[in-house]
Structures are given as structure tokens and as C-alpha cells.
Amino acid sequence: MKTFGFKIDPLTGEEYYEVYLRGRQLLNDPHLNKGSAFTHEERLSLELDGLLRSGVSTMEAQLHRTLESFRRKPDDMERYIYLIGLQDRSEPLFYRLLMENLEEMVPIVYTPTVGQACLQMSRIQRRFRGLYITPDNIGNIDQIFHNVSLPQVNLIVVTDGERILGLGDLGSDGMGIPVGKVSLYVAAGGVHPGVCLPISLDVGTNNPRLLEDPLYLGYRHPRLRGAEYDAIVEKFVLGVKRNFPDALLQWEDFAKHTAFNNLARYRERILSFNDDIQGTGATAASALMTAMRIKKSRFQDERYVVVGMGQAGTGICMNIRALLKEEGLSDEEIRRRIFAVDMQGLLLEDDPKLEGPQKPLAQRRAWVEGWKLDDPGRIGLADVVRNARPTVLIGVTAQPGLFSEAILAETARHTERPVVMALSNPTHKCECSPEAVWRATDGKGLVATGSPFPPMAWGGRTLQASQCNNMYIFPGVGLGALVGHASRVTDEMFLAGSRAISALVTPEQEAMGLLLPEMRDIRKVSAAVAVAVGKEARDAGLGRLLDDPQLEEVVHKAQWVPRYAPYRPGRLV
């Protein structure tokens, strides 16, 4: 049942919501509830008279009240619960508060606090957001989608909960991630919340803690695998195509073995992408572009060690490969510059554990003969750093302290300005702190991390690590693909977005060591990414034939600003 629709008055041109709810139902709808900001006219026409105190507030007054309440909370988990409660009461107010306090609140609604929230989701759940698709209800997928109360669905973020951040299999407790990603689409990208839908594909869990927890609210069975799992995903995708044919589908926090399969199987069939693979890789590529500019270097002049060959690590390597190809290097020349390390150590061409996307990254056995090794049976990270002499060190392992003082010092020996990207989330999983890098490099290291860290005074100047957060790329890619009417999302669109992000880093920011723009400029960043994606879609024959000024106008007009729209009563349904 739709609760409201977007309307334009043909006489005055006024934009308004046609509202189909009344009274208490209206006050309980987070998309529509204005609380004390309902006007006297709306109170009379929408059966709210007497249900509210007499004073009519402005949104600014409500913001003051909610910010006070937020800052009184004793810890980040309580702040998360408060913000999710606010989102469940009034989305316009929640997003206005979030947008005006991004640097303070993004670490609460997303990494790192959202990870802790997901670990406790069945215990802190107040209201259910989005949809939960299970093996028991997948046969009713069309009815489930028909029950969605949004006026339309243009954006879906879906997870099966198997690889939530660096925390593993959390089943349907992982729903906090799609909810958080939708929040970033709205706050950072400007996508209207009334067209965004988070979904959990709850196919069970292999986490014994959850299966034995009487409070766990998910599908209490071992996780489906193989043909049964594939059939559910197929039915889900077909249901999306039937019911929301113009929607963008973002795959989020699937395990590696399913993430690559789903991306390959569906990227040509439905407008979709995987943020963990493509988004992480593109954000890291943007940071590296800025680092090359600071170092006055080319990608081919650097040597890269990437540790952790899951989705993120593989995606980063794929982007580095693409940038090296642009500089004219052959596949073999590229292979000699990227050293991929996973649990078994350095990836080698004769390793039977190699998976498809990893094969182009594996080193030739002959190239490492003669290396001095700590253990002749395995080439570990210390061996790689000592023998490959990297200038760029990237970690996506969720192993805290992996980049030890010795590893950092060895890396610093090979270049005046090493680039160190410790990208694991949440904060306690980070491979090293920015401070450790700066101490090992005498303040010359260029640092990016997955979670935020405070700046540090060093040698009379301020050093700042960039938070290499996917929110720099995915909201703009999604917005650009939607307003550009792209028929599919390509790797070239992500690279176009990477260039747009890096171009926004100012010389003053570069002097502080920043590799990405500051978080407060995220809407500007998302708009630039969206325009770049729209141009790439157009030029590749995959999107609308709008010239550059038209495309920029469409993108900026599409970015929703949180406010209370005027309401008019519609026919009760």
C-alpha cells in the first residue's frame, strides 16, 4: 500500500506530497511524520487536530532539540540507537541532522559503530526497516514487493549477511549495513529516501553464536549453499526486474565466493554493482591518483603490495591494473608491479588455491627465485616487503597491527613518501594507525584508513589521514546511473568517478597529506561523481544523450534536500 505520492500542482507549479494516511497512522510513518511541524491547515485536513500540542515548530527548532539529545548520550552505541530511533520517527529530520553533522555522525550511522550495532542487532532492534526475504517466503516475492509502501523504488541495497565488514557471518543481523548504506545514499548522494529500499536475503547463518541465541530474530537454519542458494537469488532478481524495472541493485557484504559470482551473473541482466569489489577499488584508486600527484610520480613508477585478497583487495588490484594499462603497460609488466598476498602468503601462479579473479595477480614462480625468505615453504608479508621493495602498502585483512613497526620501516626504506592504506573496518581491525606510519616515515607517509582517525601535529604542521570510505564513490555512482538512465554499470564508470573525486582535492589538502576531499564536501563530491558517471554512460552509448550542462543540471536537481514538503490529503486507500 502506497502511503504517499509525489505531485505537482498544475496551476501553481507547487511540489507537494499527496498523503493517503490520517491521524495516528500518519504520525507513525517515518517518511511523512513532521511531529510538531505540521501546520494548522495540515492538522485539520489530515485528522491530526488534538493529537499534537498546540505549538507549531520549525525544523530548525526540532534540530536544536534532537542534537541536544544526541550529544547527551553516553557512548556511541547509545548514539546509534538514538539516531536509528529518530530515523524511525521522522526521516526528513534525521537526514537534515545527519547532513549538518556529517563528520560527527557518519562514524555512528556507518563505520565503525554500525559494526558493533550489527553484532547486537537482535538485542537492540526497535522497528524493522526494509524487507526480509527468506527461503520460506521467496515464493511470495511479488506480493512482498507489492506491499512496499514507498511511492516508487529506484534503489535497492541488498545483503545476505555472510561477510559483514570484518565481522563475518551475522545472518539477518547484518541488515544494519543496507540500512546504513541507504542513509549514505540519501545524506551524501541526495537520493530521495522515498525511493530507497534496504533488503536482507536471510538464507540462514553458520554462526553458532546466533543459532544458539534465543533472541536471534533471523532464519534459524544453517546457511543455504549451492543450487538452493542460487535459486533464491535468481528468484529475487527476477522479482526485482518485474516489480522495479528501473531500479539500481547494489550487492553489499556478500562473501567472496558468492559476490564475484553474483556480479558476473547479473551485471549484464540488471542495473547493478558490488560496492565491496568495485566501490572499494574505485575509492582506493582515487586516493592513489592523488598520491601520485603529490609524489609527482606515475603509477608505473610504483610497486604495490596488497594484503588480503577478498573482494576489497581484489577490487583494488583490478583498479590498479586498469590504471597501469592506461599508461601502456602489458599484462606481464603489470604483474611484476602488483604483489598480492593472502592467507597462504604471496600468490604464485602454481598455487592450487587460486580463484579466477586472482590468477592475473599471481607472480611467476621464476620471478621470486633467489628471494631471501624467513620460511622456505611460504612467502609471507615480511618476505614480500623485504624483497619486492614496495612503495605502496595496502591492507584489507581485518588483522589489527599487521603493518608492524618493522614492516612500515622496511617500506619507508624504498621510497621517500610511502603510501600506506590500512583499510580494514571497524577501527579495532585496522592494520595500523596513521600515527605509526608517520613515526616510521618521519611524517612523510601518505595515509588512508578505513575508519576515521584524528589529525596529528608533526614538525610544526598538521598531518591528516584520509578516511578511504566507499561513501565517496557509491552514492555518486548510483545517482549518476539513475539520472543518466544507464542500462548497466561498467568499470569505466567507476574509474571516471575516481578521477572526479581526486580532482577535488585542493593543494592545501594535499599539503596536509589528504588523499581524498574532506567529508563535509561529500555532496559536492557525489554530484561530481554522478556527472562523471553520466558522461561515461552517455559516451559509451549506455545512457541519456544529454550535453554536459544538461547533465549537470539534472544531477543537481535530483539531489534531495531534507525539508518538510507541503502535504495535501489524497484519497484514502
Per-residue pLDDT tens over the stretch 50-82: 999 999 999 999 999 999 999 999 999 999 999
Backbone region of residue 554 per phi and psi (left: phi > 0; alpha: psi in -120 to 50; beta: other values) = alpha
Secondary structure class of 469 (helix, strand, coil): coil
pLDDT of residue 445: 96
Confidence of residue 124 (pLDDT cuts 50, 70, 90): very high
Q: What is the pLDDT of residue 354?
A: 85
Cα–Cα distance for residue pair 375/499, rounded to 1 Å: 41
Q: Considering 20, 80, 95, 181, which one is annotated as catalytic?
A: 181
pLDDT of amino acid 1: 75
Taking the C-alpha atoms of residue 261 and residue 257, their distance in angstroms, rounded to an integer, is 7
Distance in angstroms (rounded) separating the CA atoms of residues 110 and 117: 9
pLDDT for residue 572: 58
Which range has highest mean pLDDT (1-10, 131-140, 460-469)? 131-140
**What per-residue confidence (pLDDT) applies to 356?**
79
**What residues contact 343, with CB distance under 8 A and at least 6 apart?**
none
- Residue 198 and residue 487 in contact, taking contact as beta carbons nearer than 8 Å: no
506: amino acid identity, one letter: T
Which candidate in 17, 95, 110, 564 is catalytic? 110
For residue 106, give the C-alpha cell: 557518519
65: its cell numbers: 532539540
pLDDT of residue 358: 86
Say whether 357 sits in a helix, a strand or coil: helix
Cell 510513518 belongs to 29
Sorting pLDDT into bands at 50, 70 and 90, what band is 543?
very high
pLDDT at 550 over 80: yes
C-alpha cell at 37: 511541524
CA of 410: how far to CAs of 176, 262, 384, 507, in Å?
A: 39, 39, 10, 29
Which pTM value belongs to this model?
A: 0.94
Residue 257 has pLDDT above 90, yes or no: no
* Catalytic annotation present for 235: no
pLDDT over 90 at 166, yes or no: no
Region of residue 539 (phi > 0: left; psi between -120 and 50: alpha; otherwise: beta): alpha
Q: Count the residues in the chain.
A: 573
420, pLDDT greater than 60 = yes
Mean pLDDT of 504-529: 96
Task: Tell me if residue 110 is catalytic.
Answer: yes
pLDDT tens digits for range 372-405: 998 888 999 999 999 999 999 999 998 999 999 9
Map out the domains of the chain with their CATH numbers.
102-270 (3.40.50.10380), 278-476+485-492+507-520 (3.40.50.720)
- pLDDT at residue 111 in the model: 83
What mean pLDDT, rounded, does the chain reach? 95
The predicted pLDDT at position 293 comes to: 97
Asked whether residue 331 carries a pLDDT value surpassing 60, the answer given is yes
Helix (H, G, I), strand (E, B) or coil at 71: helix
Q: How buried is 180 (Cβ within 10 angstroms: 0-12 exposed, 13-18 middle, 19+ buried)?
A: buried
Strand extents, DSSP E, 154-313? 155-159, 196-201, 248-251, 272-274, 304-307
> What integer pLDDT is reported at residue 143 of this predicted model?
97
pLDDT tens digits along 456-493 = 999 888 999 999 999 999 999 999 999 999 999 999 99
**Averaged pLDDT, 45-50:** 97
Q: What is the mean pLDDT of residues 242-258?
A: 95
Q: What is the pLDDT of residue 459?
A: 85
> Do the beta carbons of residue 385 and residue 407 sit within 8 Å?
yes
**Order of strands across the sheet with 248-251?**
131-133, 196-201, 155-159, 248-251, 272-274
pLDDT at 304 over 60: yes
Query: CA-to-CA distance for 223 and 434, rounded, in angstroms?
Result: 38
Question: Measured between alpha carbons, how far is 354 from 369 in angstroms, rounded to an integer?
Answer: 20
